[in-house]
Amino acid sequence: MKNAKFNILKVLFFTYLFIYSFFSIKAQTSGLDKEDVKVIKGIYDESLTSRDTYKLLDHLCNKIGHRLSGSIGASKAVEWTEMIMNSYSFDKIYKQDLFVPNWKRGDKEEVKIVGQKDEELNVLALGMSVSTPKKGISAKVVEVQDIEDIEILGRDKIKGKIVFFNRPTDQRLISTGSAYGGAVDQRTAGPAEAAKYGAVAVVIRSIGTAFDDVPHTGVTRYVEGIKKIPAAALGVISADRLTQALKNNPNVKLFIKMNCETLGDAPSHNVVGELIGNEFPNEIITIGGHLDSWDVGQGAHDDGAGCMQSIQVLRLFQKLGIKPKRTIRAVMFMNEENGTRGGLKYAELAKKNSENHLIALESDAGAFTPRGFGVTAEASTIEKFRTWLPYFDRNTINYFKKGGGGVDIDPLNRLLGTPTIGFIPDSQRMFDIHHSDNDSFDSVHPRELELGTASIASLIYLIDKYGL
């Protein structure tokens, strides 16, 4: 008897769930265009079942590897992405010529706390850093938290020293991008500022969110007229060890040896594929990511994922028989990491050729679960996009926020006034991985990656169909 009652209750419960789900879906999709609902479902279904984005990323990461501008890997990636787009028979495939910085890391870097037993620390040279003398540098260390501390201490306390920037990424911030932005100045501007006051080298605490000892590289920017000094990033645990060594002995010395070298600019390319619009071919929707990466890891999240997603948006249109009204252009930008010359060249050519860019979208925040989009456009455009939210599953796209774009498409906004969109996936793991050996293919989850591809493709479909 008890079992019979239980079974009846169970049937009633699941019947309720079914009815509730049915009417919830009906309510959610009421007022939406039935064709659009069908097309967008088809986009997600195809992306999640084919996993073509994931397959392409596998090849890019595991067959080509890291792709620093000017490297053999970058050249191979250019050739391969052009070949892939040709194999898909996009309407138009071409390369844009440019010259890029050609910086080489050289032999493995050495950093040691000098003592009776030299203590080795995990380190990576910052991108574009100069080398040390061949025999290295040994000097006392001055620990600071902010660039402003350099000025406060003054030349007397900085000259001849190695400056150690040790401000951690603010773990209290939910937005890891904001946390990164709040700490990155010590990497980008710290070495030049320290050099003004006579420092002989700089080490920084890696700009990241993980509590590990994997150092994170990234570009530093020297200033004309100020001596260039060697600059490197320590793993977080190594930074803590150096801090402890300074507490034990304020006069402790650090030894640094690096073999970095900047050669003459190297030829390279942006790679472009297009589906030509059948109603408004002169209106261009640009989607893209940067093909280059740092010379550690495999550049999977940063930004192989964004490139492969961009190619697959065009491929999804083809597979599903979606004929775009406007020209949709996938761009593999070169040299985002240490020069942004690919994005600048793209915008310059667009202006020179008087191209009409309706909007541009960049995916450069990792291959994680989609959350939303950031939009730099008129308020009316953002509000229009928000009316499209019911087309997306709430477990993927939840918002369109004001302000967004990407390093490679921002020049379009500056030179042409083009509205820009930045794809925003979940950010909590990005800066565990970013610019380090952790940025490998095995850190990418195929469903998260493909959900991103489908979300981008769905938004592009709606923009193409309805305009701004």
The pLDDT of residue 31 is 80
State the Rg of the chain over Cα. 25
The span from the CA of 451 to the CA of 301, in Å, is 14
Is residue 211 included in any domain, yes or no? Answer: yes
298 and 212 within one domain: no
The span from the CA of 463 to the CA of 47, in Å, is 19
Q: Which residues of 406-445 are buried (b: 16+ CB within 10 A; e: fewer)?
A: bbbbbbbbebbebbbbbbbbebebbbbbbbbbbbbbebbe
Residue 14 CA to its chain's centroid (Å): 43
Is residue 398 included in any domain, yes or no? Answer: yes
Q: How many CB atoms lie within 10 A of CB 310?
A: 32
340 and 420 within one domain: yes
| Segment (H or E) for 331 | strand 326-333
Query: What is the percent of the chain where pLDDT is above 70?
Result: 94
The span from the CA of 366 to the CA of 340, in Å, is 18
Is residue 5 included in any domain, yes or no? Answer: no
Residue 165 CA to its chain's centroid (Å): 24
194 and 175 within one domain: yes
Domain that holds residue 364: 32-102+264-466
Contact assessment for residue 123 and residue 215, using Cβ atoms and an 8 Å cutoff? yes
CATH at 83: 3.40.630.10
**62 to each of 56, 70, 263, 292, how far by Cα in Å?**
10, 19, 27, 15
Give the model confidence (pLDDT) of 248-305 as tens digits.
Answer: 999 999 999 999 999 999 999 999 999 999 999 999 999 999 999 999 999 999 999 9
* Nearest to 360, CA basis, from 341, 347, 342, 379: 347
Give the model confidence (pLDDT) of 223-257 as tens digits.
Answer: 999 999 999 999 999 999 999 999 999 999 999 99
* Total domains present in the chain: 2
The pTM for the full model equals: 0.92
